[in-house]
Copies of this chain bind each other. A is one copy, B any other.
Amino acid sequence: MVTLEEIARLSGASRSTISRVVNNDPHVSDKTRMRVLEVVRRLNYQPNAIARSLAAGRTHVLGVIIPKRVTELFSDPYFPILLQGVSTACNSFDYAVTLWLADPEDELRFMSKVLHNGLLDGVIVSSMVLTDPLITALGASTLPFVLVGRHPSVPVVNYVDVDNISSAQTAVEHLFQLGRRRIATITGMSDTIAGVDRLRGYEIALREHGLPVLPEFIVDGGFSEEGGVAAMRQLLPLHPDAVFVASDTMAVGALRVLREAGLRIPQDIAIVGFDDTPAAARTEPPLTTMKQPIIALGELAVEALLHIIEHPDSGPRRIILPTQLIVRESCGAHLG
């Protein structure tokens, strides 16, 4: 292994000077800088990340925590895409990402280790679950963290999110404008903030137009494709003329049920999803949906976290990204 000391010896400068050159400190004459860089390049010197971390008190490593329970239904590409955003941003800022797929069982055992062993400069958590003990533990620790998805249980936290309420509202509004009046909804898990908020947006939209909020028109699909299937079956006998489905994954299941039932989409029943996952463009018919900027969410989470690490005292950061209604064929807008 090539060390600072060795470069110093070979280039005739001191350890400190080498460190300065490597870290782009301006207090080095051009002449010595050149001389040092030549040796650095020749030996392909890479500063030892561990030694650097120990001395500097900063590791340049961020953690991403994703509850395994969620990832086990990895049919939902939300997390991989989020990870991609996080990873891209970290690369560009010269940070490493460590991934922790948290198992609810060993959470307690690991949690305090992960939070206190000093390997991470900060963490990004995509928990969603309202009662997650992880969040409270995190709040009690001194480790900087940002949530992807807002969270009501911790008073002051940093998060990036989309406005699920108004996005859901937009989706339902769209159905209303197309003349639908018997609008049902398939919701996500009620112990997730996204699930709760999207339902709320649905309710608000109905109320705004003086439409009744019927309990039988609200069915839990648990954010899974199978859940979407079951929920749609339950809704079928009630003859809704539109369904706002709180995730594309569930919508895929719902569409299948409708096709099997011989209903024409969107003529007999219109569907709007949420997320704009890659699958949404390929359903039959293609799915109208609310597009979440998932990659951007991941990238901004990193930026926010780094900002907090640099400036611990600058107030909480809360970033809300806009969603976008992607109109395809399942809602009937193209029928004119």
Contacts and interface: CB of A to CB of B under 8 A. Distances in A.
Interface of A: 1, 44, 46-51, 53-54, 59, 61, 64, 68, 71-75, 77, 79-81, 83-84, 87-88, 91, 96-101, 103, 106, 110, 112-113, 116-119, 225, 256, 278-279, 282, 284
A233 to B, nearest CB: 15
Given A1-B118, A47-B117, A80-B80, 13 more contacts: A49-B119, A50-B50, A50-B119, A51-B54, A51-B118, A74-B77, A74-B80, A74-B278, A83-B101, A84-B101, A91-B103, A97-B100, A256-B282
A98 B101 contact: no
A241 to B, nearest CB: 25
* Copies of this chain, tallied across the complex: 2
Q: Pick the most buried of A73, A79, A87, A284: most chain B CB atoms within 10 A of its CB.
A: A87
Contacts of A96: 98, 100, 119
A256 B106 CA distance: 42
Q: Pick the most buried of A50, A59, A97: most chain B CB atoms within 10 A of its CB.
A: A50
A238 B60 CA distance: 57
Contact of A53 (B46, B50, B100, B113): B50
Contact of A44 (B46, B81, B101, B112): B112
A50 B59 contact: yes
B106 A48 contact: no
Contacts of A225: 282
A56 to B, nearest CB: 10
A77 B54 CA distance: 38
B75 A71 contact: no
Contacts of A68: 84
Contacts of A61: 98, 119
A3 B110 CA distance: 19
